[in-house]
Amino acid sequence: MKRKFYFWEECMNLREVKALCKLNHPNIVKLKEVVRENNELFFIFEYMEHNLYQIMKEQQRPFSEGEIRSFMSQMLQGLVHMHGNGYFHRDLKPENLLVTKDFLKIADFGLAREVLSMPPYTEYVSTRWYRAPEVLLQSSYYTPAIDMWAVGAILAELFTLSPIFPGESEIDQLYKICCVLGAPDWTSFPEATNISRLINISYSEISPTNLSDIMPNASSEAVDLISQLCSWDPLRRPTAEQALQHPFFNVDVHVPHPLLCDPLELRLNNMRTKPNLELNLWDFGTEPDDCFLGLTLAVKPSASNLESDL
């Protein structure tokens, strides 16, 4: 990271570190270690071979619906855990979905926020093409539903291998969304008044495009799920848990087994003796939410502890 960190407390107060310490799930990338050297901070994550953007870019043929279903099921399972533990990501996009041997993990929690944190939130979040309308309309009171909009945009992109809303600016992004979904009921967006006056453009005449025409290779179930996820109204979007119950997933879904853990990590998890503290600057506590992942930021096992466990 570019900024300087002079104390470990600063490192531990980073939102990304807090989130990754709490979120321990097979479909969320694992933070292995945090290193502070010369007041610079380095994150060490588990190794993943690709991101979904790279895979789509190199794809020579359309994904099968089974492949798409597997990717989406894994992403949604990660989001169920994330949202259920009080976080939303705010920057979901193909580059932040890491893949190794068809196993997918959500990464990059630099913009993650706690669901119960007090709004207003930051206006500028997420990459433009996957940004929910309420964020584009400068609302600072959004919810985890912004993640679900991004899920819908990513699902559509897996069928087309190109972004469904490729806006070149925030205003053009709204226009691209209107071209696909049609104009919304602007009264549902009180924030839209100011931005409409600012750009002096009315989108009220734009009619929606049939999603089946955009994605002819998608099943009716897939099209229906995308239309629900990419709803103008955030209250109409399904949660991650509800999305997994959609008929699109009502078939046998192949979800790869989690990658094998590092042998050292397994050994540490099974250690009976407490590892030696190298930096005893804070107390992680003993709450159920605390996971060993957070402990690795401050603890390194001694050689004697490892030998005693052999």
Considering only the C-alpha atoms of the chain, give the largest distance between any 2 of them, rounded to a whole number of Å.
Answer: 74
Q: What is the CATH number of domain 50-249?
A: 1.10.510.10
- The reported pLDDT for the residue numbered 89 is 92
pLDDT of residue 40: 73
- E-only strand ranges, the chain: 31-37, 40-45, 50-51, 87-88, 97-100, 103-106, 113-114
Distance CA 198, CA 193 (A): 9
Closest to 19 measured CA to CA, from 300, 203, 294: 294
The reported pLDDT for the residue numbered 10 is 63
* Coil, strand or helix at 32: strand
> Cα–Cα distance between 20 and 40 in angstroms, integer?
19
Question: Whole-prediction pTM value?
Answer: 0.74
Write down the domain spans for the chain.
8-46+275-309, 50-249
pLDDT in tens, the chain (310 residues): 556 654 556 666 577 777 777 888 999 999 887 777 766 777 788 999 999 999 999 988 999 999 999 999 999 999 999 999 999 898 999 999 999 988 999 998 877 777 665 454 454 455 799 999 988 887 767 789 999 999 999 999 999 999 999 999 888 898 899 999 998 876 666 555 445 544 445 666 788 999 999 999 999 999 999 999 999 999 999 999 999 999 999 976 455 544 444 434 433 444 433 333 333 333 334 343 333 333 333 333 434 444 444 4
State the pLDDT at residue 227: 97
Q: Are 165 and 173 in contact (CB under 8 A)?
A: yes
Cβ(164)–Cβ(227) under 8 Å?
Answer: no
State how far the Cα of 205 lies from the Cα of 183, in Å rounded to an integer: 7
> Which tokens belong to 256?
């790869």
Residue 191 token pair:
């924030």
Active-site hit among 91, 102, 213, 309: 91
Q: What pLDDT score does 256 carry?
A: 56
User: For residue 59, how many C-alpha atoms fall within 13 Å in the half-sphere facing its CB?
Assistant: 20
87-88 vs 50-51, strand pairing mode: unpaired
Question: Position 221: which residue type?
Answer: E
Reading the block at residue 282, the tokens are 């804070």
Q: What residue type is assigned to position 128 of the chain?
A: R
289 belongs to the catalytic site: no
The owner of tokens 């899920």 is 151
Q: In whole angstroms, what separates CA 67 from the centre of its chain?
A: 19
**DSSP letters along 222-282, please?**
HHHHHHHHT-SSGGGSPPHHHHHTSGGG-S----PPPPPPPHHHHHHHT-SSPPPBS----
The whole-angstrom separation of Cα 113 and Cα 135 is 15
Tell me the C-alpha to C-alpha distance, in Å, between residue 304 and each of 292, 298, 301. 20, 18, 8
